[in-house]
């Protein structure tokens, strides 16, 4: 294979694998990046969802435990 | 030809009619001004007191929508030929950041007002009787697409686990940190489905593996993906987008 052909082939393979990697799921989420989609406000970051979920969990945990204990007594 | 203006067209009409039209114009302009103030005023709508009023209105709207909700009215279903291909991926993150859940170790956790809180593995869930639906997914962003989803009717699953169906809400926590909740009437709707398959294939990660809740009577953001746990409660649980001001009920 000529050097130019080899370079072209390598470039095609690299581009192809890059495209595949971009579509393949499982990459760690970049929490400080802006959110995707149309629902967000300008300042929203991907990591905001995790923070909100933790806060919600703290709020709901005692309520769910109290409700479950109350229903178990019935 | 004589140019027709409001002044000329009203010539000869009674003062009562003119006053009536002026009143309507005033109301229309007043409403436009109000809408413009909300649209243009980020500072205005970020104000805490305005937010409180808007949240109160939204919760009132929730109550009105739940009152109008007909638990027996079905969402339209479509033939296979109507299915949108490819079906759109949509999330608050990019497709390559989709959270991968290990199906082998997966267990659906249950909490709250549920009699049997035993966690469910995927083989146990897959063994349940399943149905399919071809329905329209409607996004709050303004687009819609038709897809085929298969899984267990959610009301059947709730009966099986002994969920207190007199409770008000069911909440969901997802592997991608997203969370949401629905009213019990919608949870018991015959088309609400705990979904394991999309287009006759195991639900791909980008559409919510290992399972999602498919609710054709609600907007897309009320259809949580990658569900890891669910709970039944009488306490309003909200949701991520709902807590940002989106209408909680968001359904028909």
> How many C-beta atoms surround the C-beta of residue B213 within 10 A?
25
Q: Quick: pLDDT tens for B114-140.
A: 999 999 999 999 999 999 999 999 999
**Predicted local distance difference test score (pLDDT) of residue A70:** 83
| CB B195 within 8 Å of CB B128 | no
Of B35-49, B69-83, B131-145, the one with minimum mean pLDDT is B35-49
Residue of B76, B119, B74 lying closest to B210 (CA atoms): B119
Q: Report the residue from A22, A53, A57 with minimal CB separation from B96.
A: A22
Average pLDDT taken over every residue of chain B: 86
Q: Is the pLDDT of residue B180 over 50?
A: yes
The confidence band for B57, taking pLDDT boundaries of 50, 70 and 90, is confident
Phi and psi torsions of B202, nearest 5° = -50, 135
Helix (H) or strand (E) holding B214: strand B212-214
d(C-alpha B58, C-alpha B250), whole Å: 10
B17 secondary structure, DSSP code:
H
Say what the pLDDT of residue A2 is. Answer: 62
Of all residues in chain B, the one with the smallest CA distance to A72 is: B115
Residues of A in contact with B142 (CB under 8 A): 38
d(CA B95, CA B1): 62
CA–CA gap between residue B207 and residue B224 (Å, rounded):
10
pLDDT in tens, A21-65: 445 788 999 999 999 998 988 899 999 999 999 999 999 999 999
pLDDT, position A71:
77
Instruction: Kindly report which listed range (A29-33, A59-63, B36-40, B83-87) carries the lowest average pLDDT score.
Output: B36-40
Q: In which band, very low, low, confident or very high, does the pLDDT at A8 lie, cut at 50, 70 and 90?
A: low
Q: Nearest 5°: CA angle at B37, between B34 and B38?
A: 90
Find, among B241, B250, B244, B236, the residue nearest to B46 by Cα. B244
CA distance B91 to chain A (A): 7
């Amino acid at each position: 294979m000529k050097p130019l052909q080899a370079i072209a082939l390598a470039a095609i393979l690299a581009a192809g694998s890059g495209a595949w990697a971009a579509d393949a799921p499982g990459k760690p989420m970049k929490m400080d990046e802006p959110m995707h989609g149309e629902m967000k406000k300008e300042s929203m970051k991907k990591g905001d969802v995790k923070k909100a979920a933790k806060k919600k969990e703290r709020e709901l945990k005692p309520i769910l435990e109290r409700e479950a204990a109350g229903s178990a007594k019935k | 030809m004589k140019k027709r203006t409001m002044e000329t067209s009203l010539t000869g009409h009674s003062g009562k009619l003119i006053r009536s039209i002026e009143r309507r114009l005033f109301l229309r302009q007043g409403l436009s001004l109000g809408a413009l103030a909300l649209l243009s005023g980020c500072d205005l709508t970020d104000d805490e007191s305005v937010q409180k009023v808007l949240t109160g209105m939204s919760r009132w709207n929730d109550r009105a929508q739940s009152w109008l909700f007909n638990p027996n009215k079905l969402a339209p279903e479509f033939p296979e030929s109507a299915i949108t291909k490819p079906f759109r991926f949509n999330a608050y993150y990019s497709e390559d950041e989709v959270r991968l859940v290990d199906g082998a170790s997966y267990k659906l956790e249950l909490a709250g007002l549920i009699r049997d809180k035993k966690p469910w593995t995927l083989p146990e869930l897959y063994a349940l009787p399943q149905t399919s639906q071809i329905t329209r997914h409607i996004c709050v962003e303004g687009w819609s697409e038709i897809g085929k989803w298969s899984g267990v009717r959610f009301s059947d699953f709730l009966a099986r686990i002994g969920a207190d169906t007199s409770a008000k809400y069911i909440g969901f926590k997802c592997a991608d940190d997203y969370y949401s909740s629905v009213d019990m009437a919608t949870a018991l709707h015959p088309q609400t489905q705990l979904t394991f398959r999309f287009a006759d294939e195991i639900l791909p990660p980008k559409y919510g593996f290992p399972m999602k809740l498919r609710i054709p009577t609600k907007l897309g953001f009320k259809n949580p993906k990658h569900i890891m746990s669910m709970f039944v409660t009488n306490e309003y649980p909200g949701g991520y987008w709902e807590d940002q001001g989106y209408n909680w009920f968001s359904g028909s």
